[in-house]
Amino acid sequence: MKSNVAEILKSGTVLQEIALKGWVRTFRSNRFIALNDGSTINNIQCVIDFENTPEKTLKRITTGAAIAVKGILAESQGKGQSIEVQVSEIEILGDSNPDEYPIQPKKHSFEFLRENAHLRVRTNTFSAVMRVRSKLSFAVHKYFQDNGFNYVNTPIITGSDAEGAGEMFRVTSFEDNKAPVTEDGKIDYSKDFFGKETNLTVSGQLEAETYAMALGKVYTFGPTFRAENSNTTRHLAEFWMIEPEVAFMDLDGNMDLAEDFIKSVLAYVLENCKDDLAFLDQRLTQEESKLPQAQRSEMSLLEKLTFVTDNHFKRVSYTEAIDILRNSKPNKKKKFQFPIDKWGADLQSEHERFLVEKHFKCPVILFDYPANIKAFYMRLNEDGKTVRAMDVLFPGIGEMVGGAQREERYDVLIEKMKAMNIDEKELWWYLDLRKFGTAVHSGFGLGFERLVQFTTGMGNIRDVIPFPRTPQNAEF
């Protein structure tokens, strides 16, 4: 017997007996229940024999209630569905008081739903987003597993700040006001749980590198924490990052990998999440129809996704990008908040978005950035001023991927660390990789939520992770 709505709708075989459990989305005319069990965006219509159903039971069929039905699958007389369940038995498993239940069958604002994040997945939009998120996760593992990568679990508690940006959450077991202090009045972390200062990881890269230098091809896929106080639609304090790292691969190989990987996972969900993506596509088109013409996208969501899978990413050096930006209309008309005047400027998201959305109109890989705006571990180019860094920029998102060829030369790395005030003693093990069997290697980090945002067309990163962690918010 088919046991969920997705399977039943797919099979479409009428006259079979079925039993289903799910939640009531709507109940109208004391007869028609739209039932959803989470297996698909589609509800199944369950028709009640209301003359033979006790009044008391009918009253308990309310939006949000959990029910079990048994009946026969039949061709539907009504519009909007081809098959329906003619219910012979109904049981109310869990009531839902309509006066108190926040999720009514009407449009709720995303702000309101964020405050009810424990219930929002019961709406069409959020259930679609979260099913796509799950399939994307699977596609990530599938891609790497199919291509000979090993999954590595790097530590969540660490003593290092891989990115050197100092945006870390401290981990301590000291009790309030009871932390021991040293003679000069500082907190004495040598007496803390780990005997040293520790924090939640900002990236698993440095540890992943150690594994790439033995297993060849590895990837991480885990939670990452950043205490950056950015209240934007693209930043979370807790997000999931995917970090492949490959021995004997240079920056060109890294760019090829990033492009192939993104295209492959998008192709997977295009093939395996058709109903959810069709729904999200319509949702976005509807949302955008309320905007002035100039602010609407030129492509629908599905068109954007196929555009990415079918076209080459444009590869542009930082130096070329600066030339384009310097001579761009918004720069000349002083429309950028951060005007670009000389080489060496750090690119802001307004610049990245100009490049992908206005200038190239496709995903762009920028490479060879100035050394002093990038992390210490990136390989120095022959020019002595740029490093083998790459960022993959996406329309509507900005930076989706950040990566690099790593500095594999011991002497160059040490010098770089000194110049950037990175503690050599803390990273003795990272330096060891350059002493014992060092080799060219590269990798990147992809922010999983930004990928989910792009795939689902959701405007705010808080709406693509079940329980977002952002400044001033850790509810649930």
Which residues of the chain form contacts with Mg ion (CB under 5 A)?
Answer: 402
Toward ligand 4AD, which CB reaches closer, 84 or 243? 243
Cα 26 to Cα 31, 103, 112, 441, distances in angstroms: 10, 11, 20, 56
The number of residues making up the chain comes to 476
Question: Residue 243: which of Mg ion, ligand 4AD, none does it interact with, CB under 5 to 8 A by kind?
Answer: ligand 4AD
Q: Which residues make Cβ contacts (< 8 Å) with residue 314, sequence separation at least 6?
A: 360, 362, 363, 364, 365
Nearest distance from residue 206's CB to ligand 4AD, in Å? 8
Cβ-based neighbour number of residue 325 at 10 Å: 22
**Taking CB within 5 to 8 Å according to partner kind, which of Mg ion, ligand 4AD, none is near residue 400?**
ligand 4AD
Residue 217 binding result from ligand 4AD, Mg ion, none, given CB thresholds of 5 to 8 Å by partner type:
none
Measure Cα distances from 233 to 284, 358, 458, 463 in Å: 16, 20, 10, 9
**Partner in contact with 444, chosen from Mg ion, ligand 4AD, none, beta carbon below 5 to 8 Å by kind:** ligand 4AD
Q: How far is the CB of 163 from Mg ion (least distance, A)?
A: 8
**Smallest gap from residue 11 Cβ to Mg ion (A):** 47
Least distance in angstroms from the C-beta of 311 to Mg ion: 23
Minimum CB–partner distance for residue 234 and ligand 4AD (Å)? 6
- Least distance in Å: CB of 219 to ligand 4AD? 10
Question: In whole angstroms, how far apart are CA 5 and each of 2, 81, 84, 416?
Answer: 8, 13, 11, 58
What whole-number distance in Å separates Cα of residue 416 and Cα of residue 430?
14
User: Which residues bind to ligand 4AD, rule: CB under 6 A?
Assistant: 162-163, 203, 205, 226, 228, 235-236, 239, 241, 243, 399-404, 443-447, 449-450
Question: If we measure between CA atoms, which residue out of 18, 100, 95, 109 comes closest to residue 58?
Answer: 95
Q: Which is nearer to ligand 4AD, 90 or 404 (CB)?
A: 404
SS3 56: helix
Closer of 22 and 402 to Mg ion (Cβ): 402
Q: What does 219 interact with, of ligand 4AD, Mg ion, none (CB < 5 to 8 A by kind)?
A: none
Helices in 290-335 by DSSP H: which ranges? Answer: 301-310, 318-326, 329-332
CB of 447 to Mg ion, least distance (A): 9
| Residue with smaller CB distance to Mg ion, 402 or 443 | 402
Output 131 or 235, the one with its CB closest to Mg ion: 235
DSSP string, 362-384: S-EEEEEEEGGGS-TTBPBPTTS
Residue 410, CB-side half-sphere exposure with 13 Å CA sphere? 10
Nearer to ligand 4AD, 33 or 393 (CB): 393
Q: Which is nearer to ligand 4AD, 43 or 224 (CB)?
A: 224
- Closer CB to Mg ion, 398 or 402, in the complex: 402
- Supply the minimum distance, in Å, between the C-beta of residue 399 and Mg ion: 6
Alpha carbon 21 to its chain's center = 31
Name which of Mg ion, ligand 4AD, none residue 389 binds, using a CB cut-off of 5 to 8 Å depending on partner kind.
none
Instruction: Give the residue at shortest CB distance from Mg ion.
Output: 402
Residue 161 · residue 199 · CB < 8 Å: yes
